[in-house]
Amino acid sequence: MYNFRGVDLNDLNSSSKFVRHNTSLSRLKPFTTVLNHLAGKSSPVSPLLTLHHHRSNFHSFYYNIWHYNCLMEPSTEYMAFEEKVKKTIYIDNLSPHVTKAVLENAINQFGNVKDVQFVPTYFAPCGVCAALVEMESAKQAEEIISEMGDSPLMISGMPRPVRAQKAQAEMFEDRPKKHQRRIVCRWMDPGHQNFELAKKIKDLTKKHAAEAQYIMELQVKEEEKLHKQQSETLQTNYRKYELIDGAQADGNVNRLKAEYGIKLNDR
């Protein structure tokens, strides 16, 4: 087993481990308590906080993750990356034959494309692809999402049933670190006091992956069912138009007009 997010699991069970006080922590009364006296030293209200003794290891673990993610200031590089995410859209359900140039030309009809990056879909079938498309501005990205929600995307003159949504930071494999801290992973001995906690998190991750795989397979089945239904409807309508064209070509329509005295618009 290993620890997560740079938080050493050896430190989670000790009530003597402290985290630095932050002014925004004043709202965290359920998690922390202020010490007026620390280590036998008579000092003013201590700028240190400690976790409650009765909090479980599970709560302590997620408190540390929450502290690092929400209270630490993000790096300058990550702030620039967040601006990039706002201008990027995620497009999935693409054909595996779609290339970067083809997709760029298709999206350019809505705005100016800055970059196209294909992303692997680990939980999707082999025939399904996805891409991250960075636009010139966040406004263009929002307009594309709205437009593609109302009508299909035209790729090489053909409508494609692709979907578009706002990109998330987790979709980028090359995303920078939010905080300049070192992430350490290590094997955990089965006899360690936090071994069961790490095992539960690992099992939960596997469960989420299995659920995502099942949902994707179910979605593909529904899409195939809809495709079959639409194909049958298309063939039926096509045969109807063929009958009408055939009746006009062999003169049956003209004979019916003369028989019933009906004036039809030839256009």
pLDDT digits (tens, 9 = 90+) for 104-163: 988 888 889 999 999 877 665 556 688 999 999 999 999 989 888 777 777 766 677 788
In this predicted model, which residue has the larger pLDDT, 10 or 222? Answer: 222
Query: What residue ranges in 79-227 does DSSP mark as E strands?
Result: 88-94, 113-119, 129-135, 153-155, 158-160, 163-166
Backbone dihedral angles phi then psi of residue 3, each to the nearest 5 degrees: -95, 170
What pLDDT sits at residue 114?
92
Which domains, from first to last, does the chain contain? 9-72 (no CATH), 77-171 (3.30.70.330)
Residue type, 219: Q
Report the predicted TM-score, pTM, of the whole model to 2 decimal places.
0.51
Q: How many CB atoms lie within 10 A of CB 162?
A: 20
What pLDDT sits at residue 124?
59
